[in-house]
Structure 1
Amino acid sequence: MHGVKRVRYSREALAAHKERERAKLKEFQGLTAEVLSRKKGNDFDKESFELTTRLLHVNPEFYTVWNYRRRILLNGIFPTSTPVQINDVLSDDLSLTTTLLKQHPKVYWIWNHRQWCLRQVPDGPTDADPNGWRQSYWNKELFVVEKMLEVDPRNFHAWTYRRIVLENMPVKRPELSELAYTKRKIEANFSNFSAWHQRSKVLSSLWESGKRDKFKSIEEELDLVKNAMYTDPGDQSVWLYHRWLISLGDSKSVVDREIQSIEELLEEQPDSKWCMESLVFYKRLLLRSYGESLADEDRRKLASDCEELLVNLQRVDPDRKQRYMDLSQHKL
C-alpha cells in the first residue's frame, strides 16, 4: 500500500508467527471437538456452558454452538435456578452479545441469541409489577440499538432488531416519535435505505390506525423525498421510496406533477440514470392506468418519450443495456 512502510520479518520471526497460528488452530479444533462431543452427549452442566462461551468468543458465527448454549440454559441451568438467578444469567448473556456485536455487528446469530434472551426474562421483581424486569430490559434495548445505529446508521440487522424491540416493549413508544427518529437518520444520510424502509413501516401503521391522514402525509413525504432527490439524484434508496409513495395513490395529477419535477431535475443532471428510469416508469404508468382517457397525440408523445429515454439509458448505463432494449421491445 502507498505510504505504508513495508516491514521485513526475519525467518525466525515468520516461523514463530506460523507456530503461534498453528497452536491457535489446534486449540480451536480441540475446543470445537470437546463442545460438539458434549452436545452429542446432551451434557447440560455449567462446565459445558463455559466451554460454549470460550468457543463463541473465537467464532461467534458458529450457530450450532449458540443452539447448544440455549439448550443448556433451558435444560440444565434454568430448571435449578430461582427467577433472580435466571435474571442474572440472562443479564450476563446479554453482556456477552454486546461485547461480540461490537466486533461483529452483522452476525445474525448474535442478534438472534440476544432476542431469545429477552424473551426468557422471568416475571418479577414483584407480584404487583410482573412486567418490571421485562420493561426494564426492553427499554434498555432501545438505547442499545440506538447506540449501534450511531456507529453504523445503515446496519439493517440493527434496524430489523429495532422493530422487534419496539413491538415487544411493554409500554409502547409513540409511533410519531419513531417517525421523527427516522427523519433524523434520513436527513443525516439520504442513502440510508433501512431508515426509509423503517419510515414506510411506521407510516403504514399510522395510516392503518387512523392516527395520520394518508393523503396529506403522502404529500409531506413527497416534499421530503424531493429534497433528497435534488441532494443526491444518484441514490437508489430515494427513488425506490418515491415509487412506493406514488404506488399508494390514485391520482393522475400527482403523477403528472412528479414527472414534471423529475424532468426539471434531469435538465440539471442530464446523465442521471435514476431520473431517466423513473420517467420511463411513471410515463408508462400513465399509459397503463390512464391511457384510455388520454388523447391519441398524448399517448404517442408518452410512448416516444419512453423510447428516447431508453436509448439514452443504454448510453449512460451500458452494463444494463440489454435490460433497456428488452423494455423498449415490451409494448404496453
Structure 2
Amino acid sequence: MVSNHNVKRTRVSPEALEAKRLKELSKVKEYLALNDDLLARKRSKTYRKEDFEATTRILSINPEFYTAWNYRREIFLNGLFPASTPAQIDEFLSSDLDMTMAQLQRHPKVYWIWNHRRWCLEHVPEGPGEDGDSREGWRRDNWNKEMFVAEKMLDRDPRNFHAWNYRRYIVASWPSIRTKDDELKYTKKKIQSNFSNFSAWHQRSKVLGAMWEVTPATRTEQDEGMSSHHTYSRFWLIILEEFEFVKSALWTDPGDQSAWIYHRWLIGEGDDLVVLQREIDVIEELLVEEPDSKWCLDSLVHFQRLLLQHKDESSVDVSSIQQRCAFALTKLEAIDPKRNQRYQDIKLQL
C-alpha cells in the first residue's frame, strides 16, 4: 500500500494488532501490580532489602513515580544504613548514583532523578576516598564526579535547565570544585557555541552576581597597580568586558531574546547613566542595520524609558525621547501585532 505522500505503508494484520494490544495490556497489568505492591509495602513501613528491590523494579519502568523515590530513601535511612558500615553506605549511594545516571541517559529532564542524586550526595559519609587519608575523601570524590556528570549532560543538551541547575547546586555545595573564573570560562564557551543558550546566560548572571555580592567594596575598590586618577574599579572593568561580550551576541543574532535579556540584567547591575546612554547608542547603531528587529525596538523603548527616570539628574531631552519611543512603539505594533495592547499601554504612560 502507498499513501498519498508516496510513503510505503505496511499492512498490519488484525492478528498482529490484537497481539500488540494484548502485549501492551499485559505491561499495564504488570505495572499496576507493581504499583499496588509497592504502596502496600510503604503502608506497612517495612524497610528490607526486598522492599528496596521493589522500588528499583518500578522506577525502571516509571522514574517519575516520586512516591517510590521517597520510599527508597526511607528504606535507606530506616533499614539499610543503620545495619551498615560507612564503607557499605558509600557503596550503596555510589550504586544509586550509577543507577540514576543510567536513567538520565533515557530521561534527562525528569526532576525526581536529579533530586535523588542530590539526596545521595548529601548522605555520603566521611571516609578516606581515593587519597586514603582524608575524612572528606568520599564526599570530595563523589562531588568531583558529579561535575563531570553535569558537563556530560550539558554536552548532550546545552539547554537542559535541569543540568544547569544541578551544576549550580554542585558549585554552591562544594565551591573548591570550580572557581568562579572557571564557571565564567565554561559559560562563555557554551554561549559562544550557541548564543541562544538562555540557561548559559542565566548561569553567567548568577556567577557574576555572586562575585559582586561578596563585599560592598567590590564595586569601588581600585585594581592593584592602577594609577590613582583611573576611575575604573574591578567591578567596572568586568562590566565593560561583559558589555563587549554581549554586544557580539546581539550583533550576531539580533532576533534571539537570550542575549537581550542578559543585556537588560547587565545594565541593571551597572545602574549608571553614562552606561545607559552608551548602550542606547549601541542599540540605535544596530537598529540601522536591523530596522525591523523586534528586540532592538523593544529594548530601545525600555532603556529610553529608564533614561527618562534620570531627567532630574542630567540634560535629558524628555520631549525627544518620548517622540522616539512613540515612533518605535508604532513600528512594534506593525511588527508584533499580537502585543498591540501592550505597546499602546506603554504609549499612554510616556
Question: Would the TM-score normalized by the shorter structure come out above 0.5?
Answer: yes
Deviation at 1:291, TM superposition (A): 4.8
1:300 is aligned, of 305, 310, 319, to 319
2:20 aligns with 17
Alignment of 1:76-155 (within 5 A): 76-125=79-128, 128-155=133-160
Q: Distance in 1 between matches of 2:83 and 2:6?
A: 60
Amino acid at match of 2:151: E
Q: State whether residues 291 and 299 of structure 1, in contact with CA within 8 Å, keep that contact through their aligned partners in structure 2.
A: no
2:288 aligns with 267
Q: Distance in 2 between matches of 1:81 and 1:261?
A: 64
Higher RCO (Cα < 8 Å, 6 or more apart): 1
1:317 is aligned, of 333, 336, 339, to 336
Q: Distance in 2 between matches of 1:170 and 1:244?
A: 25
1:283 is aligned, of 291, 304, 315, to 304
1:38 is aligned, of 31, 34, 41, to 41
Q: Distance in 2 between matches of 1:235 and 1:328?
A: 25
Q: Distance in 2 between matches of 1:6 and 1:200?
A: 51
- Please identify, of 286-295 and 245-254, the stretch whose mean Cα deviation from structure 2 is larger: 286-295
Q: Distance in 2 between matches of 1:228 and 1:3?
A: 43
Q: Distance in 1 between matches of 2:264 and 2:173?
A: 31
Q: Distance in 2 between matches of 1:165 and 1:292?
A: 44
- TM-score of the superposed pair, with normalisation by structure 1: 0.95
- Do the aligned partners of residues 3 and 256 (structure 1) sit closer, same or farther apart at CA in structure 2, a change above 3 Å counting? farther
* RMSD between superposed Cα atoms in Å: 1.8
Deviation at 1:3, TM superposition (A): 6.8
Amino acid at match of 1:115: R
The percentage of aligned residue pairs carrying the same residue is 55
1:258 aligns with 279
Deviation at 1:84, TM superposition (A): 1.3
2:252 aligns with 231
- Please identify, of 203-212 and 221-230, the stretch whose mean Cα deviation from structure 2 is larger: 203-212
Q: Distance in 1 between matches of 2:7 and 2:268?
A: 52
Q: State whether residues 262 and 275 of structure 1, in contact with CA within 8 Å, keep that contact through their aligned partners in structure 2.
A: yes
Deviation at 1:289, TM superposition (A): 2.2
For each residue in 1:172-214, what CA deviation from the matched residue of structure 2 results, as whole angstroms up to 9, or x when unmatched? 4221111111100010111111111111111122223349811
The reply on whether 1:200 has 2:205 as its aligned counterpart is yes
1:26 aligns with 29
1:49 aligns with 52
Q: Secondary structure at the match of 1:290?
A: coil
- Do the aligned partners of residues 7 and 107 (structure 1) sit closer, same or farther apart at CA in structure 2, a change above 3 Å counting? same
- TM-score of the superposed pair, with normalisation by structure 2: 0.90
1:159 aligns with 164
Deviation at 1:128, TM superposition (A): 4.3
Gaps of 5+ in 2: 224-232
For each residue in 1:12-57, what CA deviation from the matched residue of structure 2 results, as whole angstroms up to 9, or x when unmatched? 1100000000000000000000000100110111111101101001
The reply on whether 1:174 has 2:182 as its aligned counterpart is no
Q: Distance in 2 between matches of 1:186 and 1:170?
A: 22
Q: Distance in 1 between matches of 2:271 and 2:26?
A: 67
- Number of residues paired by the alignment? 329
Q: Distance in 1 between matches of 2:175 and 2:336?
A: 50
- Do the aligned partners of residues 5 and 214 (structure 1) sit closer, same or farther apart at CA in structure 2, a change above 3 Å counting? farther
Q: Secondary structure at the match of 1:79?
A: coil
Deviation at 1:125, TM superposition (A): 2.7
Q: Distance in 2 between matches of 1:218 and 1:196?
A: 15
For each residue in 1:111-137, what CA deviation from the matched residue of structure 2 results, as whole angstroms up to 9, or x when unmatched? 000000011111113894110100100
Q: State whether residues 144 and 177 of structure 2, in contact with CA within 8 Å, keep that contact through their aligned partners in structure 1.
A: no
- Please identify, of 285-294 and 183-192, the stretch whose mean Cα deviation from structure 2 is larger: 285-294
- Do the aligned partners of residues 170 and 252 (structure 1) sit closer, same or farther apart at CA in structure 2, a change above 3 Å counting? closer
Gaps of 5+ in 1: none
For each residue in 1:296-321, what CA deviation from the matched residue of structure 2 results, as whole angstroms up to 9, or x when unmatched? xx210100111111111111011111
For each residue in 1:59-116, what CA deviation from the matched residue of structure 2 results, as whole angstroms up to 9, or x when unmatched? 1001111001100110011110111111111111101110111111111110000000
